[in-house]
Amino acid sequence: METLPRYLELTVIPSWLKGKNRDEIALEFGKRQGTISNIISTVRNSMTRYDFDSVRVLAKELRRAELTVDNCGYGFRTHNIITKLKIPENEIEKFLIRAFEFAQKLRVD
């Protein structure tokens, strides 16, 4: 079995966690699907399988919804702000519209 360079693992795993399948990754890196599977298995076995697979499921759902991790972070921060302000869920849209209109009056970008 060939010894794979560390950089390959460091580039394959993010692709896998983003939801790409083994065939896509193998094609992208010019490696066989078995090689990609071995890299994934090695990393999966070195960490909690549940965490590894959960991150992948999340990444696949984000990809399907055409969202990025940055989008989720932004949404999470926005959620936390709204929660701190104790705005009822049925009032959020109205609050945001009023805040936007107020910012427009103040010419805030």
At 48 the pLDDT is 67
Residue 1: is its pLDDT beyond 60?
Answer: no
Please report how many Cα atoms fall inside a 13 Å half-sphere around the Cα of residue 62, on the Cβ side: 18
Amino acid identity, position 19: G
Residue type, 28: E
pTM of the model: 0.50
What residues does each domain of the chain span?
1-67, 68-109
Q: How confident is the model at residue 53 (pLDDT cuts 50, 70, 90)?
A: confident
Indicate the SS3 state at residue 59: helix
Output Rg (C-alpha) for the chain, integer angstroms. 21
What angle do helix axes 33-46 and 6-17 make, rounded to 10 degrees?
A: 80
Query: Over the stretch 37-51, which tens digit does the pLDDT of each residue have?
Result: 998 888 888 776 667
Mean pLDDT over 47-66 rounds to: 80
